[in-house]
Amino acid sequence: MIIFRYLCREVLSTTFAVCVILLLILVSGRLVKYLAQVAASAMDPSIMIAMLGYRIPGFLELTLPLGFFLALLLCLGRMHVENEISVLYACGFSEKKLLLYTLLIASMLAVAVGYLSLVVAPTGMAKVGIIAEAQRARGEIDDLVAKKFYPLRGGKGVIYADQVSADRGLEDVFMVVTEPGTGSSMARVVMIVAQDGKQQRTEIAGEQYLVLNQGYRADGVPGEFRYQVTDFQEYGIRLADNRRYREATEVEAMPTRDLLNSADPKLQVALQWRLSIPLMMFVVTLMAWPLSRTRPRQGRYSKLLPAVLLYLSYLVGLNALRGSIESGVVPASVTLFPLHLVFIGIGVALMFANPLARRITRRSPSPEANS
Per-residue pLDDT tens digits for 261-302: 888 888 889 999 999 999 999 999 999 988 888 766 666 666
Q: Which residues of 344-359 are buried (b: 16+ CB within 10 A; e: fewer)?
A: eebbeebbeeeeeeee
With beta carbons less than 8 A apart as the criterion, state whether 326 and 109 touch: no
CA dihedral 133, 139, 141, 143 (to 10 degrees): -40
The full set of domain ranges for the chain reads 2-136+247-361, 150-238
Rounded CA separation 44/248 (Å): 17
Query: Could you read off the pLDDT of 201-225 as tens digits, one per residue?
Result: 776 666 778 889 999 998 888 777 7
**How many whole angstroms separate alpha carbon 10 and alpha carbon 75?**
7
- The per-residue pLDDT for range 242-254, each reduced to its tens digit, is 555 555 567 888 8
- Measured CA to CA, the distance from residue 182 to residue 179 in angstroms comes to 9
Q: 156-200 pLDDT, tens per residue?
A: 788 898 888 877 788 899 988 887 766 556 778 888 899 998 887
